[in-house]
Amino acid sequence: MIETLQSSIATPFQPLQLQKNVVTQNQDAINPGGKGSFVQTLQDVLEHTDNLAKDSRKVSDGFIKGEPVELHDVVIASEKAKTSFELLMQLRNKALDLYREAIRTQV
């Protein structure tokens, strides 16, 4: 224990190095491999929203058909799909606002 403390005191820049690694790991989680673009991210969001809607429909249909599906699973799936769709609509609205603002900007 004491040796660990002494080694951490001897190298005061180690925490900064760890923080740098955390930032790099977060960037890799957001953009794996460092590849992609805004268009790719937007396509991923669209696919994710579509998958949530399909899952919601599948769970709802199973509940209606009498399959062993709990009601709370149906509600959770539908709320996930609804929230994802609302986020997508907000992104669309912001993009349209930015486009309109860019059109109004005089050069």
pLDDT of residue 45: 92
pLDDT of residue 54: 97
pLDDT of residue 31: 55
Is the pLDDT confidence value at 8 over 60? no
Each residue's pLDDT tens digit, 11-68:
444 444 444 444 444 455 555 555 678 889 989 999 999 999 999 999 999 999 999 9
What are the residue boundaries of the structural domains of the chain, listed by start? 39-107
d(CA 98, CA 27): 25
pTM value is 0.61
Long-range contacts made by residues 50-57, C-beta under 8 angstroms, separation at least 24? 52/77, 52/80, 52/81, 52/84, 53/81, 53/84, 53/85, 55/80, 55/81, 56/80, 56/81
